[in-house]
Structure 1
Amino acid sequence: MSDLNLGILGNCIIAALVDTEARIVWGCLPRLDGDPVFCALLDNGPDPERGGYWSLTLPNGRTREQAYLPNTAVLRTVIGDAEGNAIEILDFAPRHKQYGRMYRPPMLVRCVRPLSGRPRIVTHLLPRFQNGELRPNITRGSNHARYVGPTQTLRLTTDAPLSYVLEHVPFLLDRPMHFVLGPDEILNADIAETAGGLLARTRDYWRDWARSLTIPFEWQDEVIRAAVTLKLCAYEETGAVVAALTTSIPEAAHSQRNWDYRFCWLRDAYFVIQAMNRLGVTTTMEAYIGYIMDIVGDVETQGLGPLFAITRSADLSERVAPALAGYRGMGPVRIGNEAWLQVQNDVYGSVVLAATHVFFDRRLELADRHGLFEQLERIGSRAVQVWDKPDAGLWELRTREHVHTFSAVMCWAACDRLAKIAGVIGRRERAAYWRERADAMHARICAEAWHEPGGYFASCFGGGDLDASLLLLNELDFLTADDPRFAATVDAIGTSLRSGDFLYRYQIPDDFGRPETAFTVCAFWYVEALTALGRRDEARDLFGKLLARRNPLGLLSEDLDWHTGEQWGNFPQTYSMVGLINCAMRLSIGWEEAF
């Protein structure tokens, strides 16, 4: 049975997911939102030859160890059998600097070597095309096989016996062997030297990158793994950041809450940018600003949509992939996401907040600060127009709209940050203009969203329901930590939305009934809020419990089962990994305190 005890391979162009048996069960090519040529994660049919995966194992083996090489995206799996035979598999997607630019081809490399005994291995390379509908035509050469599909062809180059590979026959692993799967391009070099060189350079790249991080004293391994994961969710070619690497893993069993998250939500991307900035990684923000500024041209007349394809297309029309049964048979499998049609007014704040850091960080060279500020002003003008208008909200309700408090606060944040940016670049008139609008919005939000009978901020203007996103009122600088209204709202959310170690995002029925699982990041938001209120011991205790819910490779999905702690929802979820980083940075003791 499928589960989310998965690891990630990636290089910021493609990504793949590997299960505990070293099977690649998900992978889109030639880019993060491409055709899932490995789709077994969403197709658990009874026929083992149905395909959609790439296995490499001992016929009667079981996994003994699985872990990343420290501070890298190279996954090591050790498989052994009862007779004392054992093998090691190193899986990765090449990424390193070459000729003054980043080498990151749409390629997966698997290096396998014997560790003990006389192991006989077997491999099943069974890609599928067009969302699982088509088996490829296979041609072969002396050391390669071509998997030919209607829109792309994959080439496997290997120094293993090709006939055994293609016929899935066990063979003796008497030396290290290598498998390179990528574009249909001839490899004019020694396979072992090529794979070994790619491994060494990729390993060194990630270790150098990890050394550049500004990490807390505590929870270093956890933060580094989360940072690498966020990096792998950024599509470097355009600067887009996807919300997750998968589609249609349900939020709860048989819930029909199956969505495609392989797109760039402006809101999610802001949270990723914020977390990476805290770690000292500003390149993700700089690339993302280029991405988002390319799609704001029509903001004044059409508004800004909540999500875009990684190449900026706004049309993400949703359809069902009929050939895929779904995760554990729990379809449908959706391609595309109708949320692109929704009005989500928090996006204006998300864009301005994502870009704010660049105006204040002296390390960053901004060629045209005033030009970028004027582009952001267009976003702010739209925020002023829509901040008190109904929308689908943060949680993307599909059949109802309200004036959501979180959306209004994010529009306020756009104006607030524009006032601060104008001040730092010497635009005094514009600073006064944006401060006046921010202050007026702040006053009305406090009046309209405050639920006097309950003594807390409600999810909607004039409403009484609670919403976990309002745990961010201090994080967004809307309320100070010592404002009694913030403490009251946190207490109300903790009382009504918390159950055990987890939190609901809300308790009211939505388009699919009441939520059945906890939204992972909400618990991290609660930890952050407790920390802001000075309740550090309580926050540290809950943070430790949340860390224990990560999978064996340190990763988190979107949702958690209340009773078992099992992960559900799309994977890995950037929101969840952001929450881990932010909490660790807030809660860790300082380096100077440790000695």
Structure 2
Amino acid sequence: MNEDTPTAQSLDLGVVGNGSFAALIDAQARVVWGCLPAFDGDPAFCALLSPRQHPGGDFAIELEDFERAEQHYIANTAVLRTVLHDSRGGSVEIIDFAPRWHQNARFYRPVSLVRRITPLAGTPRIRVRARPLADWGARIPDSTWGSNHLRWLLPQMTLRLTTDVPVRFVREQLSFVLNHRLHLVLGPDEPLARSIDGYVEEALNRTLDYWREWVRYLSIPLEWQDAVIRSAITLKLCQYEDSGAIIAAMTTSIPEAPGSSRNWDYRYCWLRDAGFVVRVLNRLGATRSMEEFLRYIFDIATHDGSLQPLYGVAFETALHEEEIESLAGYRGAGPVRRGNLAWLQKQHDVYGSVVLATTQLFFDQRLADPGDIATFARLEPLGERAFALHDVPDAGLWEFRGRAEVHTYTAAMCWAACDRLARVAARLGLAERSGYWRERAEIVRAKVLERAWRDDVGWFSASFDSTYLDASLLLLADIGLVPADDPRYVATVEAIGRELKRGDGLFRYVAADDFGVPETSFTICMFWYIDALAAIGRHDEARQLFERVLARRNHLGLLSEDMAFEDGEAWGNFPQAYSHVGLIMAAMRLSRPWTDAL
């Protein structure tokens, strides 16, 4: 790694975005991650993963004699405010946002980051460093400049920075006294045909208005409203609106644990999450986002009747995995991977996930394009696949690379596919098809209850004929396979608490896998456990644990995939959409009713 390249030392990051792209910004207002022109593009800003050969991969506004910083989101928005203080009494405010608003009967959401810099006190001296890299940090891109802009020729787009900072100051990274407000507009190579200060002020106000209006129509619980709203906005920022896809996270290769080599590319859409994401969007009342995601899922699901675990944001199927040598990795802990070999795995639970998600089409009268008999007919092949594969070994939702078993969760999700098709058929008045799918659902359910329950240990096992536990068993009641008061389910939840829980964290599983023994708490699993505790009647305990987990979010209320057990440090890709889904669902279950406030 080049000595001139500062590295992000923690996941104390914020995210700004607009449905076209997103950028991660550290606690000192430095853009350290941003793929262009979309989530799956080349990371022009890649400082988070430590470029080896060249300084840069960042977009910083550095304050000389820096002493401390404060950072928060403007309430109910995706607009980030950072205040930098120097040791001489000077301070600077930086506002960061990606423009988004309604315009001409559609959304204006350019691949653009806007930065407004305002002096607040003293005579602060700053330096602007705009240093995108190309080809995953392997080279400095060719650049040109004009009187009020700079341009970089990136692999997939030409990037333009329009500014009222003197261009030479930016080109040569010169420091200067900030004595009046300045503006930076980063985006496509299109001239700004108006004053930059006028554009930025209008864009800021319209973007603030958009987010406040979006939040205004969310359905939220009485308690933990700030946490739920921030999670809802973060989930929205993980959606690529051209296709409707919702990605797992915005980053690649942040390790699940230090030195573990569990470094994966999460900038894709996993079908295993679909049913739960749709349910959360429905509970939030985020109907447009839900419809867009359902459109993406339905486009995939009705292609040829077979499904793979994950897809690209533009429906890509081949997500070839390779290691990138030009980036050293988060804190230097490589490898950095592009692509994800999980697309080749067999994960049969995805059929249930997709049917669970698309069931919404048939029961939600708010939708512009509700499901009908023809829609149902296009989903039935997924049910046939689920029934045929319910007892066939697969990699499971944890994507084991070195072994295959008949996983209990997989079989339960195959049951869910048949069960929901039976319900949809009944809804449509198709009695014969409802009976057909109900019969298959009962066959699968009986097999799961027979093969997964172990009298000898007193819990449901993670796979047929095994005795080990995993956290996915917490979902058996949630999907409806068994009622929450079933003594077998209660015993399983209690066993998971004994065997997998450590302090305020929860392992996915504790047995060694292809990469050794897991070391960190999987964040979504902790929310599953909290939800399960509430479901079996341990409500007070669930609330207390939920509060402690909330305290482990970063300073902006964001969550990654994993947490260290000892100190709660965030690990894994960030921000993790599914972690925020879990937070929202748990908050909605645990909150006191609104009538308590009325």
- Among residues 147, 170, 179, which one is paired with 1:142 in the alignment? 147
2:511 is aligned to 508
2:163 is aligned to 158
Matches within 5 A, 1:252-271: 252-271=257-276
The percentage of aligned residue pairs carrying the same residue is: 55
Matches within 5 A, 1:473-512: 473-512=476-515
> How far apart are the structure 2 equivalents of 1:467 and 1:293?
30
> How far apart are the structure 2 equivalents of 1:473 and 1:543?
21
Matches within 5 A, 1:308-387: 308-366=311-369, 368-387=371-390
1:424 is aligned to 427
Give the deviation of 1:367 after TM superposition.
5.2
> How far apart are the structure 1 equivalents of 2:183 and 2:368?
43
Matches within 5 A, 1:27-38: 27-38=34-45
- Tell me whether 1:524 sits opposite 2:527 in the alignment: yes
Give the deviation of 1:362 after TM superposition.
2.0
Give the deviation of 1:452 after TM superposition.
1.5
1:304 is aligned to 307
The answer (yes or no) to whether the contact 2:51–2:326 under 8 Å persists in 1 is no
The answer (yes or no) to whether the contact 2:50–2:332 under 8 Å persists in 1 is yes
Give the deviation of 1:44 after TM superposition.
6.2
The answer (yes or no) to whether the contact 1:383–1:414 under 8 Å persists in 2 is yes
Matches within 5 A, 1:560-579: 560-579=563-582
> How far apart are the structure 2 equivalents of 1:161 and 1:429?
73
2:466 is aligned to 463
Partner AA of 2:485 in structure 1: D
> How far apart are the structure 2 equivalents of 1:253 and 1:328?
9
Give the deviation of 1:289 after TM superposition.
2.1
| Partner SS for 2:343 | helix
Single out whichever of 437-446 and 351-360 deviates more from structure 2: 351-360
1:10 is aligned to 17
Partner AA of 2:290 in structure 1: M
2:198 is aligned to 193
Partner AA of 1:547 in structure 2: L
| Partner SS for 2:43 | strand
| Partner SS for 2:15 | strand
**Deviation string, structure 1 residues 437-457 (Cα, Å, up to 9, x no partner):** 101110111001111101111
Unaligned runs of 5+ in 1: none
Partner AA of 2:457 in structure 1: G
2:31 is aligned to 24
2:231 is aligned to 226
**Deviation string, structure 1 residues 106-154 (Cα, Å, up to 9, x no partner):** 1000001111112221111000111111101221111001112343210
Single out whichever of 336-345 and 358-367 deviates more from structure 2: 358-367
> How far apart are the structure 2 equivalents of 1:55 and 1:290?
38
> How far apart are the structure 2 equivalents of 1:359 and 1:521?
28
> How far apart are the structure 2 equivalents of 1:54 and 1:470?
44
- Among residues 397, 401, 405, which one is paired with 1:402 in the alignment? 405
Matches within 5 A, 1:37-52: 37-43=44-50, 50-52=55-57
> How far apart are the structure 1 equivalents of 2:570 and 2:333?
15
Give the deviation of 1:51 after TM superposition.
0.7
- Among residues 60, 73, 82, which one is paired with 1:55 in the alignment? 60
Give the deviation of 1:3 after TM superposition.
0.8
| Partner SS for 2:360 | helix
- Among residues 290, 294, 298, which one is paired with 1:293 in the alignment? 298
Give the deviation of 1:102 after TM superposition.
0.4
2:283 is aligned to 278
> How far apart are the structure 2 equivalents of 1:288 and 1:543?
28
The answer (yes or no) to whether the contact 1:242–1:269 under 8 Å persists in 2 is no
> How far apart are the structure 2 equivalents of 1:515 and 1:130?
32
Partner AA of 2:568 in structure 1: G
**Deviation string, structure 1 residues 183-230 (Cα, Å, up to 9, x no partner):** 111111110111111111111100000001000000000000000000
Give the deviation of 1:165 after TM superposition.
1.2
The answer (yes or no) to whether the contact 2:27–2:69 under 8 Å persists in 1 is no
Give the deviation of 1:366 after TM superposition.
2.7
> How far apart are the structure 1 equivalents of 2:589 and 2:297?
29
The answer (yes or no) to whether the contact 2:19–2:240 under 8 Å persists in 1 is yes
| Partner SS for 1:294 | helix
2:554 is aligned to 551
| Partner SS for 1:278 | helix
Partner AA of 2:192 in structure 1: L
Unaligned runs of 5+ in 2: 1-7
> How far apart are the structure 2 equivalents of 1:480 and 1:311?
38
2:597 is aligned to 594
> How far apart are the structure 1 equivalents of 2:80 and 2:212?
14
- Tell me whether 1:411 sits opposite 2:418 in the alignment: no
> How far apart are the structure 1 equivalents of 2:413 and 2:68?
47
- Among residues 56, 74, 77, which one is paired with 1:72 in the alignment? 77
**Deviation string, structure 1 residues 62-102 (Cα, Å, up to 9, x no partner):** 34310000000000000111211111000011111111100
Give the deviation of 1:500 after TM superposition.
0.8
**Deviation string, structure 1 residues 350-383 (Cα, Å, up to 9, x no partner):** 1011111221122223355222211111211111
The answer (yes or no) to whether the contact 2:362–2:371 under 8 Å persists in 1 is no
The answer (yes or no) to whether the contact 2:309–2:342 under 8 Å persists in 1 is yes
- Tell me whether 1:119 sits opposite 2:121 in the alignment: no
| Partner SS for 1:295 | helix
**Deviation string, structure 1 residues 528-583 (Cα, Å, up to 9, x no partner):** 00100111110001000100110000001011111111010000111211111011
Give the deviation of 1:298 after TM superposition.
4.7
1:245 is aligned to 250
Partner AA of 2:70 in structure 1: E
Matched residue count: 591
Structure-2 change in CA distance of 1:384 and 1:512 (3 Å): same
TM value normalised by structure 2:
0.97
Partner AA of 1:556 in structure 2: L
> How far apart are the structure 2 equivalents of 1:422 and 1:337?
36
> How far apart are the structure 1 equivalents of 2:162 and 2:336?
32
Single out whichever of 241-250 and 420-429 deviates more from structure 2: 420-429
- Tell me whether 1:436 sits opposite 2:443 in the alignment: no
Single out whichever of 407-416 and 264-273 deviates more from structure 2: 264-273
Partner AA of 1:6 in structure 2: L
> How far apart are the structure 1 equivalents of 2:71 and 2:156?
34
> How far apart are the structure 2 equivalents of 1:297 and 1:591?
40
> How far apart are the structure 1 equivalents of 2:568 and 2:155?
41
> How far apart are the structure 2 equivalents of 1:360 and 1:150?
45
The answer (yes or no) to whether the contact 2:533–2:539 under 8 Å persists in 1 is yes
Partner AA of 1:591 in structure 2: W
Partner AA of 1:584 in structure 2: A
Partner AA of 1:344 in structure 2: Q
| Partner SS for 2:203 | helix
